[in-house]
Amino acid sequence: MWTLGHRNPLGLQFDAQGRLWDLEHGPAGGDELNLLEPGRNYGWPLVSDGDNYDGTPIPRNKTRPDLAQPAISWNPVIAPGDFLFYSGKAFPQWRGQALIAALGTGGIVRVAIANDANGRPVGKELERIDLGTRIREIREAPDGTLWLLEDGDHARLRKLAPS
């Protein structure tokens, strides 16, 4: 077993440094982005930044410093789909950032990754791009534009390009 303590991973991606990340659905709250490291326990079901669906609390991630901490978590949830680390030329200001397809917020969530004082990666949400519908998948085209797949019965494939 390489890692454990994952609830519901929806995406796995390598960043530009070759590090492996996962994006997970939390319970009622607690969606998270994690840098995966061999042998680490990511906490589920011992901790979460959300609660059980019946409302009973789950101890928060920070109560267990012996477990791997998420780079960023969301409560309320963003209900993530897939994600990528942007490397293209179409949106140069987004290079190196995580772009997350968001089912719950109806668009894309843009996250920058930096290291804290201890050298641990920490995510910071920069923007929510409202596209008015649930986005399930996100892919980067060779020219740096983005292909987005909507969710639902009348889902469309959409292209996002600079105006």
What domains lie within the chain, and their CATH numbers? 9-160 (2.120.10.30)
The pLDDT value recorded for residue 113 is: 97
pTM: 0.96
- Which residues of the chain, if any, have pLDDT below 70? none
The helix/strand/coil state of 63 is helix
Distances (CA, A) of 146 to 3, 39, 94, 119, 161: 31, 34, 12, 31, 7
Place of tokens 């994600």: 83
Quick: pLDDT tens for 136-149: 999 999 999 999 99
End-to-end CA distance of the chain: 46
The pLDDT value recorded for residue 87 is: 98
The pLDDT value recorded for residue 62 is: 96
Quick: pLDDT tens for 62-72: 999 999 999 99
- DSSP for 71-95, written as a single string: SEEESS---EEEEEE---SSSGGGT
What is the spatial distance between Cα 79 and Cα 95, in angstroms, rounded to a whole number? 23
The pLDDT value recorded for residue 153 is: 94
Long-range contacts of 45-51 (CB under 8 A, 24+ apart): 45/7, 46/5, 48/7, 49/73, 49/74, 49/75, 50/26, 50/75, 50/77, 51/27
The pLDDT value recorded for residue 60 is: 98
